[in-house]
Chain A
Amino acid sequence: MTAHPLIQVIGLRKAFGGHVVLDDVSLEVRAGEAVALLGPNGAGKTTLLRILATLLRPSRGVARVAGYDCLRQAERVRAHMGLLAHGAWVYEDLTPFENLKFWATLGGLPHGRDALNGALAAVELDRVADERVRTLSLGMKRRLALARFVLARPPVLLLDEPFAGIDQRAGKWLDGHLGAFKAAGSAILMTTHSFGRGLGVADRIAILAAGRVAHDTPLGALTLDDVRRLYELHAEDGA
């Protein structure tokens, strides 16, 4: 028996003024599934993600997270969704511990000392837990953002180019954590335009070009070269 998809997008359209970014996008992600959204710059990957994260209103169509409508039930969606965007929601003058305490308390997550230290340990930031975030690398800041999800795993995870700008080791580490979230039942949608990384944990890839999902296949059936060829094919259409 298949569960309802935790992420559901039907006929989504988004136009900024006269400029149409998403034309007719349909996509589904189920519990325990991870989908990698590929596409050239400007294809609308971030736009789609932000609509699902209730940060943008769609022009037309349906976007649902955990069964709740992103436009009409935004607060419900926010309670069931975790977003990891480019900015990692960090305050530079605070320590990782203090940052996590702030976001955990504000978000109604467990915020006791033990819970916070436990989460920081899980993302391997316990040694720098009391140093100012200003001194940390980008990868460490991303890990700090991830610590939020360790405190309370959201049913839906939206990640915008999570592997961009971090080294191999951090990338492998991120793979591991995302895999754990997936195994625990979360639905993951992440955007990427790098092939080597991020595809490790993905079950399916969807290629976004010309405002539509040009291709949507399970990853198991394809090799990396297949993916690259498909991408280049559709990227040309869309560019």
Chain B
Amino acid sequence: MKRLQRALGWLAVAGLAAGLVMAFGVAPREATQGNVQRIMYLHVPAILVAYLAFGVVLVASVSYLWGRAAGADRLAHASAEVGVVFTSINIATGAIWGKPTWGAWWTWDARLTSVSIMFVIYLAYLLLRAMIEDRERAARFAAVLGIIAALDIPLVHFSVYWWRTLHQPPTLLRPGSTPMDAMLVAALTINLIAFTLLSAYFVAKRVRLLKREQEVLA
């Protein structure tokens, strides 16, 4: 297991290196926005990986409530942490992109707002875990919160989107639009894979760390 984890780590580093090269070197310079647009290669994969992580939290939470396996609880905990980290990367890169592009660090546009709410929800999830002393109770309550949070995310996105729209329309997932530069798509995809590998590595490491912590305390 440890060797697998290390291999995963190296693969992630390799992927990141390739991704950064693609993003800042190979991919074409965007016409209107200039080089600052390149941050999208970090911004978009970050949020996609965060969604993936929170999806894992949902599955692990349901699994925990069903079978009460400590491993499911650790997976949920680690995934939530990694998801929060990548969400904050997304928000930070978004702000860095936004300042020269829109002239402000922050706007209350739909995408930014709903991502921030998601960020706060999962921060609250981590806070709940931290504030309950009994480990087993914390696991149960976090599992319930993990389920509600995940089911809430589509509601948050729809409600905020209907409330206000300003953000770029989605580039990667919009069907039948103008063909994008092949290099652009390639750069995005490589970074997405790299980020996924990296998050998997972080989750694996964190799960092991949690297991060690619990063994020491038991």
**Chain A residues with CB under 8 A of B217:** 17-18
Contact with A along B127-146 (1 / 0, CB 8 A): 00000000010000000000
> For chain A, what secondary structure do more than half of its interface residues adopt (helix, strand, loop), or is it mixed?
loop
When C-beta atoms are compared, the residue in chain B nearest to A15 turns out to be B218
For chain B, give the interface size range: under 10
Q: Using a CB-CB cutoff of 8 Å, which residues 11-53 of chain A contact chain B?
A: 17-18
Interface size class of A (residues with CB under 8 A): under 10
A-B interface contact total, Cβ < 8 Å: 5
Report the bound CA distance from A18 to B217 in whole Å: 7
Task: Name the B residues within 8 Å of A18 (CB-CB).
Answer: 217-218
Of chain A, the residue at the smallest CB distance from B218 is A17
Q: Complex Cα distance A224/B136, Å?
A: 43
Chain A residue nearest to B136 in the complex (CB)? A57
Segment 21-75 of B: residues with Cβ below 8 Å from A: none
Specify which chain B residues have a CB less than 8 angstroms from the CB of A57 in the assembled complex. Answer: 136
A58 vs B140: C-alpha distance when bound (angstroms): 18
| Separation of A18 and B136 alpha carbons in the complex (Å) | 15
Q: How near does chain A come to B195, taking the closest CB pair, in angstroms?
A: 38
Provide the bound-state CA to CA distance between A17 and B218, in Å. Answer: 5
A17 to B136: give the CA distance in the assembly, Å.
Answer: 12
Question: Given the complex of chains A and B, what is the CA–CA distance between A18 and B160 in angstroms?
Answer: 48
Tell me, in angstroms, the Cα distance from A18 to B218 when the chains sit together. Answer: 6
Q: Which chain B residues lie closer than 8 Å to A17 at the CB level?
A: 217-218
5 cross-chain CB contacts under 8 A: A17-B217, A17-B218, A18-B217, A18-B218, A57-B136
